[in-house]
Amino acid sequence: MVSIDVWNASVDFPIFDAKSRSLKKLALGKVGGKIESEGRVPIIEALHDITLSIKDGDRVGLVGHNGAGKSTLLRLLAGIYEPTRGQSRIVGKVAPVFDLGVGMDPEISGYENIMIRGLFLGMSRKQMESRVDDIAQFTELGDYLQMPLRTYSTGMRVRLALGVVTSINPEILLLDEGIGAVDAAFMAKARDRLKSLVARSGLLVFANHSDEFLADFCDKAIWMDEGHVKMFGSLREVLTAYKGYDPFERMHPHEETPVLSGNGGE
């Protein structure tokens, strides 16, 4: 069964400046001992005491101000960061879509990118080769797939990444804000795939600022604030508390109808 459980987890980043990252300081520091307070590595507590349980079928939206810890939380849920204190347990095949374009060689072609992402997410080469056509069709990138990645716009990268993650049947889908870069028509297309994915067996955590995207994809929400989980509950409750008004009142009465055309919300 797919699930993510986190117990009292904290994520602390040591900030090594040029000096404290060197051996000199460590070696010399042993001698004196008087500059202790100065020699200590400053720590940024990005996440503090997070306790969460996300089960399969959950579609969780992640809201909060910039720097509230949304991306860090997603990386914690992906298993990229293991908590410095506390524990986490991730059961299921994780497929993250984070900052796009980072981490990939900008010179490689779209096809190569599809292959490498797929292999990273645990697919075999054969499996990916059989999916390439499907991904090419879904992303509508066509001949662009032969072009190096540096020629891609942000939206095109999002298409590519979404094409890969939705084609490999992941169980845990983690999407960062960058997803918003694609146009509404593509989003509508991706939406069906994502929904069916989550429905089959899986869970989704989606960081976004747009009420419409959140209403479209999620039924629960986490409100992050200064590295804490300020609130975790149903989407409407959390959004109402976070925004100070009920965003659903301004939208269509039924949550299920696509609302991508409107620009109300924010």
Residues lying near other proteins in the complex (CB under 8 A): 5-8, 13-14, 16, 21-24, 26, 51-55, 58, 75, 78-84, 86-87, 89, 94, 96, 98-99, 102-105, 107-108, 112, 115-117, 119-122, 124-125, 220, 229-234, 237, 241
Q: What are the E-state strand segments in the chain? A: 3-14, 43-55, 59-63, 85-91, 94-97, 172-175, 203-207, 220-225, 228-234
With respect to other proteins, which residue has the nearer C-beta, 74 or 259? 74
Whole-number Å distance between alpha carbons of 168 and 162: 10
Q: Please give the torsion angle defined by the CA atoms of residues 180, 171, 199 and 192, in that order, rounded to the nearest 10 degrees.
A: 30
Closer residue to other proteins in complex, CB, 75/159: 75
User: Taking the complex as a whole, how short is the minimal distance between the CB of residue 260 and other proteins, in angstroms?
Assistant: 27
SS3 257: coil
Distance CA 68, CA 80 (A): 18
Nearest to other proteins of 99, 266 (CB atom): 99
The candidate with the shortest Cα–Cα distance to 168, out of 124, 204, 136, is: 124
Torsion of CA 67, 69, 75, 80, to 10 degrees: 90
The dihedral through the CA atoms of 150, 152, 153, 157 has a sign that is negative
Q: How far is the CB of 112 from other proteins (least distance, A)?
A: 7
- For other proteins, the closer of residues 98 and 217 by Cβ is 98
Report in angstroms how near the CB of residue 13 gets to other proteins at its nearest.
Answer: 6
Q: How far is the CB of 87 from other proteins (least distance, A)?
A: 5
Nearer residue to other proteins within complex by CB, 107 or 256 = 107
Taking the complex as a whole, the smallest distance from the CB of residue 134 to other proteins amounts, in Å, to 20
Question: Toward other proteins, which CB reaches closer, 124 or 130?
Answer: 124
How far is the first Cα of the chain from the last one, in angstroms, to the nearest whole number?
36
Q: Least CB distance from residue 193 to other proteins, whole Å?
A: 20
